[in-house]
Every structure is written in structure tokens, then in C-alpha cells.
Amino acid sequence: MATICEQMKKVHGHPCFGGGTHTTGRMHLAVAPACNIKCGYCTRKHDCANESRPGVTSRLLTPQQALAKVREVMASPVLGPTMKVAGIAGPGDPLANQQTFETFRLIGEAFPELMKCMSTNGLLLPESLDRLLQAGLHSLTVTINAVEAATAAKIYRHICYHGRRYSGREAAEILLARQYEGVQRACALGLVVKVNTVLIPGINDREIPQIAERIKDMGALVMNVMPLIPQAELAGIAAPTPEYLDRVRNDNERIIGQMRHCRQCRADAIGLL
């Protein structure tokens, strides 16, 4: 497992890990439409050019189209010099889509200097790590929203795992076990790991320090506590106030480093944060 200093050096210039936040750019390649879980706060049914939230894209890309997009961005006199990261963050879960691995392969061959990163719900992470390392993955973000299965069951409606659909507590237990196993193994293999946690007032707020403690012990570098965007099944829950969000982040800073500049980006975001 790499030390914190080694991890910080590795992510130098990666805006989503705190390096070069305002000077280096990233491009999210929307090649992963399928998702294997249903989060209560997620909706992908509509898209507006002015909205920024996970799960949104204006156009799905094939791996070949993604490579063409990277070529276009890298050739831009404005964007090209700032671009350091090529990532896949949806609009579904990257590991539920074979296109993810082909896209990373194509980008790695054409632009080996770009950092390759990915954001996942973690359900398929433990069994996918060997392939991701072979594809040259540089860094990884895993969304974990609970420690207790009873809490996770209030957040996730169902999961689809190896051809079976699970719901309720059973789904929550499987998902949490895979998420934490994936983070632990990823850290042990030398990947730099960030954990995203959606702050859902009245549901998971009391468990967030426990998540922080657990991922810190596993070797994660940083935690990103994000405010709930009220929508879908959780539309009736008010988003945390900025003051409450700051308080949670400040409390967790005593446990693990906190990312504070997240913009909850679209699956097709390109440019500076």
C-alpha cells in the first residue's frame, strides 16, 4: 500500500483529487449506459445543457467515438494544453459496461500520457480490478453511502448481480460487502482511491464518520462528501444546507482528507472544474 505522500505525488495534476484544481482539466467519456443498481436519488430521464449532475449526458459514445472525442479535445489550442485526465463516470456504472475496458485500451494506446480514472458504485469492483490494472487505470472513485445494511436499504432500491436481481436488506448487504472489499483490494494494489458519499439528511448522516474511519483504515486517500440532489425516490428529502455540509466535512477532516471543490459533474463534462 502506498503512503499518503506517494499517493499525493501520483495524483499531482488530477483536479478531482485536489491537484491542479483550477489549472488542469478532465474529460468524462459517456460510454457506459447500463447500470446494475438503482439509487433512490438518481434519475437519468432528462438532460438540459445547463444542468450539472451525475448520470446526465447529451450523447452516448462508442469507444471509437470516445477516442475521436479525445483526439478532438487534445488538438484544441484552448483545451488540449490543460487536459490531464480521461475518465469514465457513466451515465451508468462503468463496470457494468464492456465499452469501458475497450475505451481505456484505445486511449492508453493513443494517449499514454493521460491519467485514466473511473467512478463506480463498486458492485463489480473486486472482480474487475485485474482488468482495470491491465488497462492502465490510474485512479479510482467509489461511491459508498452507508456502513449498515439497514441504512443502505433505504438508499438503494435494488441491485442486479451476476444475473439475479436483489432488493431490500439482501441487496444492501451484497453491495456494501463488495464496495468495501473493492476499496481495500484497490488500495492494496496501489491504486489511488477516493470515496464519494452522498449526504442524505436523516438517513445516512450519522454513519458518515464511520465510513470515513473504515476507508481510511483501508488506505483511501480522500473522501468527497456530496450534498443530496433531491430527485427520484428521494425527492421529498431536503438537501443539506451549505452550513451542515461544511460541518460534516470539517468533522471528517479529522479522520481523512476531504475534497471540497466537487461540482457533481455530468457524465460528459469536459474542461476545468
Specify the pLDDT at position 13.
64
How far is Cα 258 from Cα 37, in angstroms, rounded to an integer?
26
H or E segment and range at residue 84: strand 83-88
Who's near 215: CB < 8 A, 6+ residues apart? 144, 180, 183, 193, 195, 223, 256
At 160, which amino acid appears? C
CA distances from 63 to 36, 120, 253 (A): 20, 18, 38
H or E segment and range at residue 116: strand 115-120
Specify the pLDDT at position 49.
46
Specify the pLDDT at position 43.
76
Question: pLDDT tens, 116-161?
Answer: 999 999 999 999 999 999 999 999 999 999 999 999 999 999 999 9
Specify the pLDDT at position 31.
94
Helix then strand count (H, E) for the chain reads 8, 11
pTM: 0.90
Q: Read off φ and ψ for residue 39, nearest 5 degrees.
A: -85, 140
CATH number of the domain located at residue range(s) 4-258 in this protein: 3.20.20.70
Residue 51 near residue 59 (C-beta atoms within 8 A): no
How far is Cα 121 from Cα 222, in angstroms, rounded to an integer?
16
Question: pLDDT tens, 245-256?
Answer: 999 999 999 999
Percentage of residues in the chain with pLDDT exceeding 70? 85
Number of neighbouring beta carbons within 10 Å of residue 165? 11
Specify the pLDDT at position 51.
47
Instruction: Give 19's DSSP letter.
Output: S
Who's near 65: CB < 8 A, 6+ residues apart? none
The one-digit pLDDT tens for each residue of the chain (273 residues) are 667 667 766 666 677 776 555 677 888 999 999 999 999 988 766 554 444 555 556 689 999 999 999 999 999 998 888 889 999 988 999 999 999 999 999 999 999 999 999 999 999 999 999 999 999 999 999 999 999 999 999 999 999 999 999 999 999 999 999 999 999 999 999 999 999 999 999 999 999 999 999 999 999 999 999 999 998 899 999 999 999 999 999 999 999 999 876 666 666 777 666
Residue 259 near residue 194 (C-beta atoms within 8 A): yes
How far is Cα 91 from Cα 82, in angstroms, rounded to an integer?
24
CA distances from 19 to 8, 13, 58, 81, 211 (A): 8, 5, 28, 16, 24
Domain ranges in the chain are 4-258
CA angle (221 as vertex; 119, 92 as ends), nearest 5:
10
